[in-house]
Amino acid sequence: MTDDLGTRGTRHAVVIGGSLAGLLAARVLAEHAEKVTVVERDRLPDGPEARPGVPQGRHLHVLIAGGQRALDELLPGFTDELRELGAPKVGVPEDMVQWQSGRWFRRTPATAHFYSGPRPQLEWLVRQRVLADPRVELLQGTETVGLTGDASRVRGVRLRERGAGPDAAVRTLEADLVVDASGRSTKASDWLADIGAEAPHEETLDTGLAYGTRVYKAPADLDTDALGYYIVPGPAQTYGAVVLPLGDGHHLVTLSGLRGEEPPTDESGFEEYAKRLPHPVISEWIARAEPVSPVHGFRRTANVRRRYDRPGRRPAGFLATGDALCAFNPIYGQGMAVAAMSAVALRRALSDPRRTPTTRTVQKALLGASRQAWDISAGADKKMPGALGDAARPGPLDQAVGWYLRRVQERAAGDPVVGGAFRRALTLAEPLTTLFAPRVARAVLLGPVHPSPAEPPLRRDA
């Protein structure tokens, strides 16, 4: 391996951030380095509990198909262990009552599955598996305040104890390779500037979407076999809602709205806000359910992509991954999957026998792992009213692709062929080109819009 990346004879790699992306990157780097140190600001809980460093940790998280496959590759048997911990496995469209673009989806046999257990549960399981490797060390309660080295190469990180104050002693931890997995709030642009390097250009797209989440004990007398509900927002109807099981008899309920129409975080306001949805099925569910938590709000939902792949004066031996590289509107449920898929991309790039890895080629591989999720999230968000940012501008192909995808969405609710392809692409199980496969394209271009239920389908298709 080349000295450009710093992995030839690597003695020490440092990962900034004990997030899913950071832990899984450490898992891969341990295959190449004598030692990997994960530097984490938080003091991590001993069990599957929420922590401050994951600000959306109390909100809805799903592990979609692309993430399941990647986690099982990185940590064999992972999804079996997740299921044993009680994480619900939800099949779509079979187990969900879903409304999108004015139509209820038929509840035909599932063509995709996701897990909807609590985020802290999944993160704890990953942490247990990764830290079982003696080559991986966790340094908790420690802030990264900068890099060492210069514009040609990063040679380590500058650290101080969290909470010790800006005048506290700063120490240096030397490293052959540094990976930034510190999340969407990364300070890497400042760190790079401080050593004379160039920060990456940031592409942004922000709809101002905000959401509120509350945990409920589900009503005991519901006349349905559905596991959850999903009202998908769109340009013509901008309110969204999701109800999904946590696995312990409780459900997470998330309501969302755009800038200026944010869901309130008080109990009565939250329940009243649910009445804005295009059908009362969810507000009626909430009225009969028992609340067991406060309402937690979340506002930082912009799509942000940092283009380290583009030319610039950047040092060797420094990579970015996870939300520090590409952060999505969390409402699409892609973040955990992309964290895992990025680690798989890192493994393949470092181990590719056909070429010598360099900082630039590995960083491009990491960005490539997030590209489909970005195309989905940013592609949907740029159509929403009030979207801001340089990535909100339509591209030359947007009109034609948008026309085709509108036809896909019109048919996905009632046509199993189109719906199956649509779900496989959205869950990152297959590429977006799946939507243009001959059988799917014939149904999209020539087929009719199949009838869909007039009311919420509370029972599976017979």
Give the β-pairing of 12-16 and 35-39: parallel
| Predicted pLDDT of residue 396 | 79
358-414 residue pLDDT tens: 999 999 999 999 999 999 999 999 999 999 999 888 777 788 888 999 999 999 999
User: What would you measure as the largest C-alpha separation in the chain, in angstroms?
Assistant: 69
Q: Is the pLDDT of residue 7 over 70?
A: no
| Predicted pLDDT of residue 2 | 43
CA nearest neighbour of 6 among 37, 40, 29, 38:
29
pLDDT band at 8 (very low <50, low <70, confident <90, very high): low
- The mean pLDDT of 285-307, rounded to a whole number, is 95
| Predicted pLDDT of residue 48 | 79
Q: Which residues contact 138 (CB under 8 A, 6 or more apart)?
A: 18, 37, 38, 40, 44, 131
163: number of Cβ within 10 Å: 9
Bond into 93 cis (ω within 30): yes
**Share of residues in the chain with pLDDT > 70 (%):** 97
Least confident of 57-61, 65-69, 212-216, 319-323: 57-61
Average pLDDT, the chain: 93
Which amino acid, one-letter code, is at 215? V
d(CA 112, CA 337): 14
81-130 residue pLDDT tens: 999 999 999 999 999 999 999 999 999 999 999 999 999 999 999 999 99
CA nearest neighbour of 305 among 233, 241, 234, 381:
381
355: number of Cβ within 10 Å: 9
pTM here?
Answer: 0.94
157-183 residue pLDDT tens: 999 998 777 778 899 999 999 999 999
Structural domains of the chain, ranges and CATH numbers in brackets: 12-61+122-204+301-379 (3.50.50.60), 209-298 (3.30.70.2450), 391-445 (no CATH)
| Predicted pLDDT of residue 3 | 46
- The mean pLDDT of 287-310, rounded to a whole number, is 94
Give the pair of three-digit tokens for residue 46: 């001993």
140-158 residue pLDDT tens: 999 999 999 999 999 999 9
